[in-house]
Structure 1
Amino acid sequence: MRIDAHHPDRSVAHRISVVVLTHNRAQEVMRTLSRLLALPEQPQVIVADNASSDDTVGLIKAILPDVRIVQCPSNLGAAGRNQAVACVSTDYVAFCDDDMWWEAGSLAQAVRVLDASPGAAVLSARVLVGESLELDETCVRMRNSPLESRDLPGPPLTGYIAGACVFRTDVFRAVGGYEPRLFLGGEEELVALDLLASGHAIVYMDSLVVHHHPSRARDSRLRRRLLARNAAWISWLRLPLQDACSATGRAFALLWREGTFARDAFMMMGALPWALARRRVVPPSVRAMRRHVDAAEQRQKKVARRAAN
């Protein structure tokens, strides 16, 4: 099923679009868009601009007029992607962030895989980081997924990488896209849980490649706090009470270490009524899949520690 990356079937241009999420990273997104527009597949490229206050929108309009821009009314975080997908008219939609881009041939490969594999709803790509092309550690775990393939085109997963995946467009819309309240940080976990609960499969595809050159415009401390908060909220939304309490405890511990407990813990717990009103625990089969994956990852960590010693 591999194809020539430089001469793929251009008919896929009408089958797949690419949505790029950005906020105040004009130079990064211009680099990404230039690479996407140079792809031999020639997909439609849609930018979800999260109310950038720099020259992002003006630059794109002036230099890359073929790119469609969806201007969000405010910074919606991951939910900005929902606004862009509302404009997608193709069967499939690929996602990347403003510091990531798809390798030539990968989108055509994704179309072929999804056409041939009706059981797969989402394909999570291999992510190569920086000039050294180092494999993202998340992809290492995905590649080693212990779940049975069930005639799927790659290892089944319980999650995916939001900025390096391809969805069936109708599935993305049916699941509701990203929850605005989560903003950014692990936002794909809630979508993944709902996909699995609906019987859809998420698959890792080593043959699909996304390049990631992490932007320097990052706040790592804020991201850690958002990840912990969102993990707690998602647990209250979809997981058993024991899991929700554990995730909340871990979030409290991190906020205490970060020195933001008084402010952030109050805000986090203030959303509990919202989460409980929308609580829908996923089926036992989905929870069993997650436990199986978690146990395998713990075993791999133990092996790695022994090897290091």
Structure 2
Amino acid sequence: MSRDRRADLLATLPRHEAPVVLVDNGSTDGTVDAVRAALPQVTVLPLVENAGAHARTIGAGHTGSEFVAFADDDSWWAPGDLARAAAVMRAHPRLAVLNARVLVGPEERLDPLCPELAASPLGTPAHLPGPRLLGFIACAAMVRTEAFLSVGGFDPVVRFPGEEERLSLDLAAAGWDIAYVDSVTVHHHPSVRRSDPAARQAAIWRSKLLTAVMRLPLRDVARTVGAALRAGAPGRQGLRRALMRLPAALRRRRRLPAHVLADLRLLAGDAA
């Protein structure tokens, strides 16, 4: 998916080794026409308005393929690694999401989140190709389309960023697995057109709050609200923005099963 990043797309799209479906989130910079003119082999799905991460769900539903590898307009999979990731997915039939290693920028720094994923407290069960996760990095993920769509994909309530959390929880509740596999690589060269950090933090808090309302026990919802208030201006802004989508979140509310809540507590370091 992309929005108003025509130059980034024209640079990264040729790097992809598999058929590409680009879902354009209502760009106003001529992205759709430019991509169609320069790269006619790319399937472009233009949306009238910004659907956030739900655009990925629209794209995945359009592909009809067994697996879908996500990439943002500033990321791409290393040569040969799409095929390698698909082979890993086929060898592990309960694996719903494969999270690749992420190298950032021209200097190829390891994304600081990757060591955390590699050291997941959930361990590495024998039936998985790497540490088990309860979250992932969307721009570095290959999903099993059947599993992804069966739990609704990325929903239109949470949008972006932070859209991975609700999806991960629902996959775990349905008996699917997520794993970190560092034998496959995604390159990420963050766009210079990224929004300011404070706005992004507020959006992340909004997503955390909405996900809590949709899936967590009420005491955990209250804890999340408290944490947002203690986080200062970004947390308070995120709370205000979450209130606008609260009715939609409540309509989708479904409490998680006990084993998923136990995993969440383990990840949070809360043995209770």
* TM-score class normalised by the smaller sequence: over 0.9
Contact 1:110–1:166 under 8 Å retained in 2: yes
1:52 to 5, 15, 27: 27
1:87 to 57, 62, 72: 62
Q: Aligned pair in 2 of structure 1 residues 146, 67: CA closer, same or farther (>3 Å)?
A: same
Contact 2:157–2:245 under 8 Å retained in 1: no
Query: Gaps spanning 5+ residues in structure 2: where?
Result: none
Structure 1 partner of 2:203: 226
- In the TM superposition, 1:167-178 aligns within 5 A as 167-178=143-154
The answer to whether the aligner puts 1:74 opposite 2:54 as a matched pair is: no
- In the TM superposition, 1:258-273 aligns within 5 A as 258=234, 261=236, 265-273=239-247
Contact 1:228–1:250 under 8 Å retained in 2: no
The answer to whether the aligner puts 1:289 opposite 2:251 as a matched pair is: no
> Per the alignment, in what secondary structure is the counterpart of residue 176 of structure 1?
coil
Deviation at 1:233, TM superposition (A): 1.1
Deviation at 1:247, TM superposition (A): 1.0
What code does the residue aligned with 1:63 have?
A
RMSD: 1.7
What code does the residue aligned with 2:32 have?
V
- In the TM superposition, 1:176-255 aligns within 5 A as 176-219=152-195, 220-254=197-231
> Per the alignment, in what secondary structure is the counterpart of residue 269 of structure 2?
helix
- Distance in 2 (CA, whole Å) between partners of 1:61 and 1:271 is 35
Q: Aligned pair in 2 of structure 1 residues 22, 270: CA closer, same or farther (>3 Å)?
A: closer
The answer to whether the aligner puts 1:118 opposite 2:93 as a matched pair is: yes
- Distance in 2 (CA, whole Å) between partners of 1:206 and 1:229 is 30
Q: Give a deviation string over 1:142-166, Cα, whole Å, max 9, x none.
A: 0111223222111110101111100
What code does the residue aligned with 2:101 have?
R
- Distance in 1 (CA, whole Å) between partners of 2:98 and 2:115 is 15
What code does the residue aligned with 2:134 have?
T
What code does the residue aligned with 1:238 have?
R
- Distance in 2 (CA, whole Å) between partners of 1:78 and 1:278 is 17
What code does the residue aligned with 1:225 have?
A
Deviation at 1:84, TM superposition (A): 1.1
Contact 1:156–1:203 under 8 Å retained in 2: yes
- Distance in 2 (CA, whole Å) between partners of 1:117 and 1:99 is 29
The answer to whether the aligner puts 1:280 opposite 2:246 as a matched pair is: no
Deviation at 1:132, TM superposition (A): 1.4
Structure 1 partner of 2:79: 104
Deviation at 1:271, TM superposition (A): 3.4
Q: Aligned pair in 2 of structure 1 residues 290, 163: CA closer, same or farther (>3 Å)?
A: same
Q: Give a deviation string over 1:111-170, Cα, whole Å, max 9, x none.
A: 111111112111011000001111111111001112232221111101011111001111
> Per the alignment, in what secondary structure is the counterpart of residue 61 of structure 1?
helix
Deviation at 1:225, TM superposition (A): 0.4
TM-score by length of 2: 0.93
Asked which structure has the greater CA Rg, the reply is 1
Deviation at 1:264, TM superposition (A): 5.7
- Give the number of equivalent residue pairs: 268
Structure 1 partner of 2:3: 23
Percent sequence identity is: 39
Instruction: Give the stretch that moved more between structures: 194-203 or 77-86.
Output: 77-86
